[in-house]
Amino acid sequence: MNEVIDLLLSRRSGRARDMVGPGPTAEQLEIILKAGMRVPDHGKKAPWRFVVFEGEARSTFGKAIADAFQQANPDAGEESLRFEANRFMRAETVVVVISEIRDTAKVPEWEQVLSAGAVCQNMLLAAHVQGLYGQWISEWLAYDKSVHKALRMEEQDRIAGVLYFGQMEQPQAERDRPDFDVKVTHWEI
């Protein structure tokens, strides 16, 4: 039990740009994805889906990312286009979590979006428990319509997160955390 709590209280993101291999094994990735699906979800809508990028798929999709970047930035130079084409190469495994908003008359959009956020967090925790690093990032591409189209997203869908998984050469140092007593109040009559 203490071990689980220690893990919960010690999770840290690793920086995607500093990640090294190995990434999650197929088994570890399945656990990460299953943990992602194990979230509260009002109305049992499962209002999210996952797109996994590994191996060459990262550079194949990198072409779509670079094209989208060029469309949005017609003056982009070769160096930045190369960077964009290699964006997903920063980690061994990249998972895009798509928040699929459906049937908002029954379940408010906000609650469906929150469920997708919980998916991302569960995935980070499942990676951490297995000795891996993860980072949940958005960057420009999460908001880009051409990228959405390449991912076959519907108009109302959003990217909840782009999650990078791998290892760090050095354990990540702790960072400042919010002041517990500022964030937590107990209601008193």
Ligand X SMILES: Cc1cc2nc3c(=O)[nH]c(=O)nc-3n(C[C@H](O)[C@H](O)[C@H](O)COP(=O)(O)O)c2cc1C
* Number of helices (H), then strands (E), in the chain: 7, 4
Q: Measured from the CB of residue 171, what is the shortest distance to ligand X in angstroms?
A: 12
Task: For residue 156, give the amino acid letter.
Answer: Q
Nearer to ligand X, 130 or 135 (CB): 135
Rounded to whole angstroms, what are the CA distances from 13 to 59, 142, 174? 23, 19, 10
For the window 135-174, what string marks contact with ligand X as x by the rule CB under 6 A? xxxxx---------------------x-------------
For the window 68-87, what string marks contact with ligand X as x by the rule CB under 6 A? --------------------
61 near ligand X, rule: CB under 6 A = no
102 near ligand X, rule: CB under 6 A = no
What is the distance between the alpha carbons of residues 64 and 73, in angstroms, rounded to a whole number?
Answer: 14
13 near ligand X, rule: CB under 6 A = yes
Binding site for ligand X (CB under 6 A): 12-13, 135-139, 161, 175
